[in-house]
Amino acid sequence: MPVKKKSWLRKFARRILIISLIALAVFIYIKFFYIFGEGSKAGELNFIVKKGYVFKTYEGRVIQTGYKSRVAGSIQSNEFEFSVVNEKVAQQLMSNSGAFMELHYKEYLGTLPWRGMSKYVVDSIISIQKQGTQTTPLQ
């Protein structure tokens, strides 16, 4: 009889382990790889830099028009902080710092070190408008 008890316990433990691994895989996919949202933001490109200790990633900031206040009684500009994975997009942003641009981004629920420090990842530039010139659509 003790042999049957061990085999039942082993089957139960094996099933719990398999269910736990599947649940962990689903959690990791939703947290780090599922695209939660997509959109576009427009504003003046404040900066874009390549930084990091192990994983060198591009990080940037766009200053949007308007003001918001996190603390009552104070004024702060709207800032959109983002990461860039695509090298070509990062180079275009670097060469147009200070220009007014519209960026397309994807939003993730979590960050990964090789994808950047922000949950917002810019994947393309919709348009760039330098001061005194017309809008340039990009692909």
The gap between the terminal CA atoms of the chain, to the nearest Å, is 70
Share the mean pLDDT of the chain: 87
37-59 pLDDT per residue, tens: 999 999 999 999 999 899 999 99
CB atoms within 10 A of CB 77: 13
Token digits for 136? 């340039």
pTM: 0.75
Token digits for 109? 């629920």
Arch. (CATH architecture) of 35-137: Beta Barrel (2.40)
Residue 79 has φ and ψ, to the nearest 5°, of: -125, 135
Residues listed for the chain: 139
